[in-house]
Amino acid sequence: AQSVTQLGSHVSVSEGALVLLRCNYSSSVPPYLFWYVQYPNQGLQLLLKYTSAATLVKGINGFEAEFKKSETSFHLTKPSAHMSDAAEYFCAVRGNDYKLSFGAGTTVTVRA
């Protein structure tokens, strides 16, 4: 079985500041990891995915995430926050089956 823990349910950053969203996973097999973003009243959109090809994964909208096996982490970062980054972000993990296990989500607020 696999699971995900997202540290911090809310993150507030200033426009132009670093965005860091933390995700730790638990998996008995090599994991496949995903970050999704959800804007208000919309479904989830894929930001990026880790599939073991490279430990640093670049996604859309300037986001990237680094897979660290020793720390069982897959933190999401963006160097400079934009107002349009205000949304809820979900980390998800999948093992050898079809099922995605989602974290509880982190809501990002961007201050002008």
| Residues that bind another protein in the complex, under the rule CB under 8 A | 4, 9, 32, 34, 36, 41-46, 49, 51, 90, 94-100, 102-105
Nearer of residues 7 and 100 to another protein, judged by Cβ: 100
* Cα distance between residue 26 and residue 31, in whole Å: 8
Q: How far is the CB of 44 from another protein (least distance, A)?
A: 4
Q: How far is the CB of 100 from another protein (least distance, A)?
A: 7
In which element (H, E) is residue 28 found?
none
* Cα distance between residue 15 and residue 27, in whole Å: 35
Nearer of residues 81 and 92 to another protein, judged by Cβ: 92
How does 76-104 read in b/e, with b if 16+ C-beta sit within 10 Å? bebeebeeebbbbbbbbbbbeeeeebebe
Nearer of residues 13 and 93 to another protein, judged by Cβ: 93
Q: How far is the CB of 4 from another protein (least distance, A)?
A: 8
